[in-house]
Amino acid sequence: MTGPLAGLRVIDFTHVLAGPACAYHLGLMGAEVIKVESPRGDAMRHRSGSDPARAARGMSTAYATQAAGKRVVVLDLDTPDGRAQMEDQLASADVLVENHRPETLDRLGLGWDGVHKRHPHIVHCAMTGYGRGHRLENAPAYDVNIQAASGLMAMTGTAATGPMRVGAPVIDYATALAAGFGICAALVERARTGRGRLVDVAMMDVALTLMSSTIVDHALTGNVPRPRGNAANSRSPSSGLFPCAEGHLSLGVNEASQFARLARVLGRGEWLEDARFGDPNARQINADALSTAIADRLLTRTAAEWEGDMLAAGVPAARLRTPAEAVAAARADDRPFLMDAGGAPTPAPPFRIGPLPQSLAPPQDLPRWPGPGDIA
CA–CA gap between residue 72 and residue 63 (Å, rounded): 13
Q: Are residues 255 and 204 in the same domain?
A: no
The count of structural domains within the chain is 2
Residue 373 counted as domain residue? no
Residue 132 counted as domain residue? yes
Determine the pLDDT at residue 358: 77
Residue 256 counted as domain residue? yes
Average pLDDT, 10 consecutive residues per value, the chain (376 residues): 93 98 98 97 91 95 96 97 97 98 97 98 99 97 98 95 96 99 99 98 99 96 92 92 98 97 98 96 97 98 99 98 96 93 94 87 87 46
Q: Are residues 177 and 140 in the same domain?
A: yes
Spatial neighbors of 263 by CB under 8 A, at least 6 apart, are: 269, 270, 271, 272, 277
Determine the pLDDT at residue 139: 98
Residue 219 counted as domain residue? no
Q: Are residues 313 and 341 in the same domain?
A: no
Q: Are residues 263 and 195 in the same domain?
A: no
Residue 315 counted as domain residue? yes
Q: Are residues 291 and 187 in the same domain?
A: no
Q: Are residues 153 and 30 in the same domain?
A: yes
Residue 314 counted as domain residue? yes
Which of the residues 12, 94, 172, 200 is marked catalytic?
A: 172
- Cα angle, residue 85 at apex, residues 83 and 86 outer, rounded to 5°: 65
Q: Are residues 161 and 195 in the same domain?
A: yes
Q: Are residues 170 and 248 in the same domain?
A: no
The answer to whether 4 touches 30, Cβ cutoff 8 Å, is yes
Q: Are residues 178 and 34 in the same domain?
A: yes
Residue 372 counted as domain residue? no
The domain of 47 spans: 9-211+335-347
Instruction: Look at strands 95-98 and 123-128 and give their pairing.
Output: parallel
Determine the pLDDT at residue 370: 59
What pTM was computed for the model? 0.94
Determine the pLDDT at residue 113: 97
Is 172 assigned a catalytic role?
Answer: yes
CA–CA gap between residue 191 and residue 194 (Å, rounded): 6
Residue 358 counted as domain residue? no
Q: Are residues 74 and 112 in the same domain?
A: yes
What CATH number does residue 302 fall under?
3.30.1540.10
